[in-house]
Amino acid sequence: MLSQETAPPEHRKARGRPRGWADNTAQNTIKSLDRAMEVFEFISATQGKRLGVIAEEMGQSPATVYRILVTLEGRGLVEFDEEQQLWHIGPRAFVIGARFLRRTSLVERARPILRRLMEETGETANLGIESDASVLFVSQVETHASIRAFFPPGTLSPMHASGIGKALLAQMDARRVARIVCKSGLEAFTGHSITDPAQLATDLNAIRERGYSVDNEEKTLGMRCIAAPVFDMHGEAAAGISVSGPTSRIGTDAVEHLSRPVIDAARELTYAIGGEAR
């Protein structure tokens, strides 16, 4: 058998990093690139900021931030509003994000299921995953009604005040839930928000029992959401499906009725990605 060193190029195994490099994050990090990515992530999370504000809030010099922004602008990752003197996330960021979504079949397989769910319930159907202790919305099919919920792909929402977030939390062990709560906190967005860990634990137990969660105006007054978890091949919650709409259409008496198609849609997507429903 040929060794890796003596084998001809066509027999050598492709490597993902140079041979002999120590796995030392500090040693291998390009600091200027890391700083640029910090600025890019800041812009994406805080749409529409002036240069001075960005520099001040990030604790960087305006000159350094400006050079980074101009570089990112050249790649289309950020763009500058000349009239208002504001920096925004650029269109190229969406293109790159869309390529990430195509890496998995989850979003692709969810689209027809979300569409059927929207048509059956008459409300906006959403798909979200857990990302860094938040819910990341990755797909949505909007209702045709004039008043509707809107969570464009890329929107982040706190897990404790989200239907999908609570559906996912309910499938996690207590230690993982505690870590997420410690990291993100239990912020009060409305008078209905859950701000007490014990109350959250009680709610999560109820969600596990009935198979679906309810965001009862916990993030936005006048909006209600019903969600159920999607499981992967390991039986772990990989995503959540929900319907969202105004409380004028989704009254408390309609929650149980609407939960059935949501649970069915989540189960259908679970099987579509080769998962195993609990």
- 138 and 256 co-located in one domain: yes
Residue with the two structure tokens 């700083």: 35
Residue 131 belongs to domain with CATH number: 3.30.450.40
Please give the pLDDT value at position 47.
75
- 90 and 148 co-located in one domain: no
Residue 144 lies in a domain: yes
- 49 and 153 co-located in one domain: no
Q: 0.85 cut: is pTM over it?
A: no
Residue 82 belongs to domain with CATH number: 1.10.10.10
The rounded distance, in Å, linking the Cα atoms of 112 and 237 is: 20
Please give the pLDDT value at position 1.
41
Task: Give 54-99 pLDDT, tens digit per residue.
Answer: 999 999 999 999 999 999 999 999 999 999 999 999 988 888 876 7
- 161 and 80 co-located in one domain: no
Of 94, 115, 139, the last residue of a domain is 94
- 118 and 230 co-located in one domain: yes
Please give the pLDDT value at position 186.
95
- 208 and 175 co-located in one domain: yes
Please give the pLDDT value at position 95.
81
Q: What is the residue range of 188's domain?
A: 104-272
Give me the number of domains the chain comprises: 2
Give the model's confidence band at 144: pLDDT under 50 very low, under 70 low, under 90 confident, else very high. confident
- Contact indicator for 234, 213 with CB cutoff of 8 Å: no
> Which of 227, 235, 245 lies closest to 275 in space, CA to CA?
235
- 84 and 129 co-located in one domain: no
- 119 and 188 co-located in one domain: yes
225, containing H or E segment: strand 223-231
- 160 and 80 co-located in one domain: no
Could you tell me which residues come within 8 angstroms of residue 208 by beta carbon, excluding any fewer than 6 positions away? 170, 171
Of 94, 129, 146, the last residue of a domain is 94
> What's the average model confidence in pLDDT over 142-154?
79
Please give the pLDDT value at position 45.
82
